[in-house]
């Protein structure tokens, strides 16, 4: 969340300076209750809860009957993650200040933190009924309380109530947008972030958050544009640079991603993740030497960074240095034992080493755990083709299609399996059906059935259907 900006009057700032001078010089100055309230509020607003607690304890010693100080102590306890202690204090204060909405507002927040949302709601309703002049503030604080415990659906309901009462308060757009994002309601989240930016186009944090939502909504080009706006406002906004680089990688724009990662590294040179992902870009660009240097640098910074071990393993495998590949992938799996991508790479490497029993055991384990992953089924079937076991490959592709009936990859694979197994009628029938459904993915078939270019009947079928389209 973006921190709020607070404006303090000269009187408050003067009180804060006097307090800090008193502490620094080990002296005793006089402060009335209101001054101490202002000092506590200042430190709480700036998230300096230790300093706020120090002032509050001092104030409670000077003015032990001041309920306003006791309320602030309760608020500090809540903010420091001690809701049970806060609730004990608030129950005592309720006996003294039963008409003060702040008591019930804080009781609700404490109960929320203790996982008692229903009891909290009752306290919040009391606070709303008592808060005649500050109902807007109370509703906002209730929304913020539910937001802190990740109850975003309830939180956004309260924020929208406040927005209905204060339609010109554009800061609320941020809160609403954030909640919708957490609820995976990306359209509404984007809409409210854009409303905020209409009012304040120079908020780099909001542009950054908007970029994240665009990523989550699979609008990566718009995400890059949002990160670029954030970087135009703050050129050293490292998080925006990192996310931009990741997004460019997703779009296979590796040259641009490399530049973005290098710019990020200029700002944060000790990031193991950045060096690793930079290495992945170089690997995709077939620059294995530089990729390996990047992975090695990543591991120098953090030897437990599993992706870097995996990246080195992939390069070794691509260069048919399978023993080193297995060694590195196993190291990655030791650090992240449930990583499906690593396990799949290990299984494929074992298959390339003709260690088929080990490979088959891993593939069967993977398809059991991830039956909806078409790439695993595809790799499993290819491992059988490597062994010239075309009927078994055909069975695996069929089994995979039952779990993934709309997979173009597995359909083309099944057609290839039938043709490789000399069942031409069935193979050509499936190929024709798949070409009609997924004509733009026909390259998958040629990758699987490398005899296709020499098969006149296959080529005639492909050309006929592509021509008709």
Judge whether 169 lies within some domain. no
Instruction: Quick: pLDDT tens for 75-84.
Output: 999 988 899 9
Judge whether 469 lies within some domain. yes
- Please tell me the distance from the alpha carbon of residue 403 to that of residue 372, in angstroms, as a whole number: 6
3-state secondary structure of 254: helix
- Please tell me the distance from the alpha carbon of residue 95 to that of residue 70, in angstroms, as a whole number: 13
Number of domains in the chain: 1
CB atoms within 10 A of CB 176: 23
- Please tell me the distance from the alpha carbon of residue 394 to that of residue 388, in angstroms, as a whole number: 11
Instruction: Quick: pLDDT tens for 261-303.
Output: 999 999 999 999 999 999 999 999 999 999 999 999 999 999 9
| pLDDT of res. 469 | 44
- Residue 411, domain CATH: 1.25.40.10
Judge whether 375 lies within some domain. yes
- Please tell me the distance from the alpha carbon of residue 225 to that of residue 352, in angstroms, as a whole number: 42
- Which residue range forms the structural domain that includes residue 456? 371-469
Judge whether 383 lies within some domain. yes
3-state secondary structure of 280: helix
CB atoms within 10 A of CB 96: 11
Report the percent of the chain where pLDDT is more than 90.
83
Whether residue 463 is predicted with pLDDT greater than 90 in this model: the reply is no
Judge whether 129 lies within some domain. no
Instruction: Quick: pLDDT tens for 393-451.
Output: 999 999 999 999 999 999 999 999 999 888 999 999 999 999 999 988 888 888 877 76
**What is the pLDDT confidence band of residue 59, given thresholds at 50, 70 and 90?**
very high
Angle at which helix 83-96 crosses helix 101-113, to 10 degrees, equals 160
Judge whether 430 lies within some domain. yes
Whether residue 1 is predicted with pLDDT greater than 50 in this model: the reply is no
- Please tell me the distance from the alpha carbon of residue 392 to that of residue 257, in angstroms, as a whole number: 41
This prediction's pTM: 0.82
- 186 touches 216 (CB < 8 A): yes
């Amino acid at each position: 969340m973006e921190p709020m900006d607070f404006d303090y009057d000269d009187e408050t700032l003067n009180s804060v300076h006097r307090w800090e001078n008193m502490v620094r010089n080990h002296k005793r100055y006089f402060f009335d209750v209101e001054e101490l309230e202002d000092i506590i509020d200042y430190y709480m607003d700036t998230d300096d809860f230790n300093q706020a607690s120090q002032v509050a304890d001092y104030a409670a010693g000077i003015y032990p009957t001041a309920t306003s100080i006791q309320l602030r102590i309760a608020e500090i306890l809540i903010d420091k993650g001690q809701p049970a202690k806060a609730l004990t204090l608030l129950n005592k204060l309720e006996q003294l200040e039963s008409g003060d909405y702040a008591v019930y507002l804080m009781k609700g927040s404490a109960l929320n933190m203790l996982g008692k949302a229903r009891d909290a709601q009752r306290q919040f309703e009391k606070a709303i009924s008592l808060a005649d002049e500050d109902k807007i503030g109370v509703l906002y604080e209730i929304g913020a309380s539910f937001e802190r415990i990740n109850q975003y659906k309830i939180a956004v309901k309260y924020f929208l109530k406040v927005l209905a009462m204060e339609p010109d308060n554009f800061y609320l757009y941020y809160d609403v947008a954030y909640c919708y994002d957490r609820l995976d309601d990306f359209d509404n989240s984007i809409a409210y972030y854009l409303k905020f930016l209409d009012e304040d186009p120079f908020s780099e944090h909001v542009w950054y958050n908007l970029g994240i939502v665009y990523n989550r909504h699979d609008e990566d080009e718009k995400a890059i544009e949002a990160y670029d706006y954030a970087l135009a406002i703050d050129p050293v906004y490292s998080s925006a640079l990192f996310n931009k680089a990741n997004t460019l990688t997703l779009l296979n724009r590796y040259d641009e991603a490399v530049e973005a990662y290098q710019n990020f590294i200029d700002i944060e040179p000790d990031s193991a993740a950045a060096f690793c992902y930079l290495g992945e870009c170089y690997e995709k660009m077939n620059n294995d030497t530089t990729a390996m240097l990047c992975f090695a640098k990543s591991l120098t910074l953090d030897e437990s960074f599993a992706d870097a071990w995996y990246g080195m393993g992939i390069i070794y495998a691509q260069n048919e240095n399978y023993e080193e590949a297995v060694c590195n992938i196993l190291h990655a799996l030791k650090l992240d034992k449930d990583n499906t991508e690593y396990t799949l790479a290990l299984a494929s490497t074992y298959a390339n080493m003709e260690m088929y029993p080990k490979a088959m055991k891993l593939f069967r384990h993977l398809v059991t755990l991830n039956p909806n992953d078409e790439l695993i089924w595809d790799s499993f079937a290819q491992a059988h083709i490597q062994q010239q076991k075309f009927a078994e490959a055909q069975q695996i592709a069929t089994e995979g299609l039952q779990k993934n009936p709309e997979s173009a990859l597995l359909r083309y694979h099944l057609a290839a399996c039938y043709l490789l197994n000399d069942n031409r009628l069935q193979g050509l029938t499936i190929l024709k059906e798949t070409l009609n459904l997924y004509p733009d993915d026909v390259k998958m078939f040629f990758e699987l059935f490398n005899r296709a270019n020499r098969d006149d009947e296959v080529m005639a079928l492909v050309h006929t259907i592509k021509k008709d389209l």
